[in-house]
Chain A
Amino acid sequence: MQDLSVSQLAAGLDRGEFSSEELTRHFLHRMQAHRELNAFITEMEEPAILQARRADQRIKEKKHGPLTGIPLAHKDIFCMDGTKTSCGSRMLDNFVAPYDATVVRKLEQAGCVVLGKTNMDEFAMGSSNENSYFGPVKNPWNPGHVPGGSSGGSAAAVAARLVPLATGTDTGGSIRQPAAFCGITGLKPTYGRVSRYGMIAYASSLDQAGPLAKSAHDCAYLLQAMAGFDARDSTCMDEPVPAYTQVLDEPLQGRVIGIPDEYFGTGLRPEVKDIMARAIAWAEGQGCIVQPIRLPNTELAIPAYYVIATAECSSNLSRFDGIRFGHRCQAPKDLHDLYRRSRSEGFGTEVKRRIMIGTYALSTGYYDAYYLKAQQIRRLISTDFSKAFETVDFILGPTAPEPAFKIGEKTDDPVTMYLSDIYTISVNLAGLPAVSVPCGMHEGLPVGMQLIGNYLTEGRLLNFAHQYQLATDWHRQCPPGCMQGSHGE
């Protein structure tokens, strides 16, 4: 049951082969049987059963849609009314959200059954999930390795078949990199495609929510339900949401794919490069026209990102003051002491480091040298992409320079950790959509390819990914430790 696609699950519900309650219990059981992965911060067994019963009622009354009764997990960055929403932080360990994020509300209206809230790097700051106050998530393919981050809990949960669908957010690669590390499909939509209302802010000009699932086809269903205009997010696009599942079967013949030199340089592991070569050869076999392109400012994307994102985070995280919500220190001696100790106790090391960098970059005398300079580099990076998209439909390359690294391998050196996002970060700076698709394995760990498109081309990205998945079975691979069927089979 856990290997079925969303459309197969929906068909099974429709035909009465199983109920949403049975489906939900099956996945809840798997979630509980794989707690060693630490993929969830909050399990929601009771509310899930109630939601499933409501879904079954809707199905019976024929008032259902394609996602009604399908289990789902939310990254613990999305506020959910009445549910703990921790953002992976001690700061919000005691925070029960008083309202729903728009994404949460939309998926509830679609009839999804929420099984729980997934683990993540604290405030979405990290590439390995080692920065969570609730402990690291294990990669289901090898528990000694990281699942990627920051949406590591969502990616691990989908890869281990603990849930068919999960939401994530991507500020510098936080959907695509964990999707690649865990062997699943993850899409970062165009900036503004999905509402950010109720999604705890890290770097607001970069943050974007998106779907994680086993396949592009499943992602299409989830994105369809997540996307759309929301008056409560002033940066949300007022553009119609296309029927993503309807465009997946278009032939790829004649699509022009750009291969950026800069994504195949010295930092890329040779084994990953070979796997990419096979994916590119497949695209040529489909009649795609493959041509080299240049994205000359790629290397500068990471430094520019770490100025812009930290500047925005130092401002966004100033709301955590120990007064209105979140952690408050014991016996503050005055207001200043209350702020300083509440924040120091509530935030972890990496979050504090980023707040410090951002505060420095925005401080008097340094603003032009750091923040303004980074914004100018951002313009150059965005221009590189718009020039490339004058001649190509897609840009294809690896999602990450290597497969999932070992837990603890990069924690001592922040800069080395930051470099693992080299191929994903520039996409956020430009605000473009991109999808990561599993395309090979190396030493028992998955490798992902990243396909980047022009603004609002999510449908075309999913079309390419779906065609690739019709021809390959990398997305069907299941981690060996998670294959056993369980209760309900």
Chain B
Amino acid sequence: MSISLEEILSISHLARLHIDEEQAGQYAADLSKILAWVQQMNQVDTRGVVPMAHPLDVVQRLREDEVTETDQREKFQTVAPRTDRGLYLVPKVIE
């Protein structure tokens, strides 16, 4: 199992992480090693085994459609890096 530098850069793009070319080599080595080790899962024949996504067999609970949360926008925005009149500010997206 070997992950190329191109793959590292493509995954880092998907994950929205900045990885420069120098670090990419280390990531490629680490991920290759970890994924090679993960491949031992292939020793087991799992045909027909139902995947287990969750430890409990539960279904999503339903509740009455009523208001339970109050408006706390101001409080929640106190931890935001930049806001203006209740809006979150980001760099210009549309020219």
Contact = CB atoms under 8 A, between A and B. Distances in A.
A343 B91 CA distance: 16
Contact of A323 (B15, B27, B80): B80
A353 B56 contact: no
Contacts of B46: 373, 376-377, 380
A235 B54 CA distance: 10
A205 interface: yes
A170 to B, nearest CB: 13
A96 B79 contact: yes
Given A299-B40, A359-B15, A375 B55 contact: no
Contacts, number: 154
Nearest to A208: B55
Given A235-B54, A303-B41, A343-B17, A376 B49 contact: yes
A18 interface: no
Nearest to B92: A334
Interface in A367-395: 370, 372-380, 382
Contacts of B53: 205, 375
A337 B71 CA distance: 31
Interface string B48-78: 0111111110101101000000001001101
A194 B74 CA distance: 30
Interface of B is mostly: loop
Given A98-B78, A306-B38, A370-B38, A344 B88 contact: no
B79 A375 contact: no
Q: Is the interface on chain B under 10, 10 to 19, 20 to 34, or 35 or more residues? A: 35 or more
Contacts of B40: 299-300, 303
Interface string A72-94: 00000000000000000000001
Contacts of A299: 40
A142 interface: no
B55 A382 contact: yes
Contacts of A95: 79
Contact of B31 (A337, A357, A382): A357
B41 A430 contact: no
Q: Is the interface on chain A under 10, 10 to 19, 20 to 34, or 35 or more residues? A: 35 or more
Given A205-B53, A375-B52, A415-B33, A356 B82 contact: no
B16 interface: yes
Given A303-B40, A335-B91, A430-B55, A353 B31 contact: yes
5 contacts: A98-B75, A325-B79, A335-B90, A357-B34, A430-B55
Given A98-B75, A98-B78, 17 more contacts: A192-B56, A231-B61, A235-B56, A300-B40, A306-B34, A318-B16, A337-B91, A341-B18, A343-B16, A343-B18, A344-B19, A363-B11, A373-B42, A414-B30, A429-B55, A430-B55, A431-B55
Interface of A: 94-96, 98, 191-192, 205, 231, 234-235, 237, 297, 299-300, 303-304, 306-307, 314, 318, 321-326, 328, 332-341, 343-344, 347, 352-353, 355-357, 359-360, 363, 370, 372-380, 382, 414-415, 429-431
- The 8 A-B residue pairs with the shortest CB-CB distance in the complex, in nearest-first order: A431-B55, A375-B51, A376-B46, A328-B81, A379-B52, A344-B18, A340-B18, A376-B49
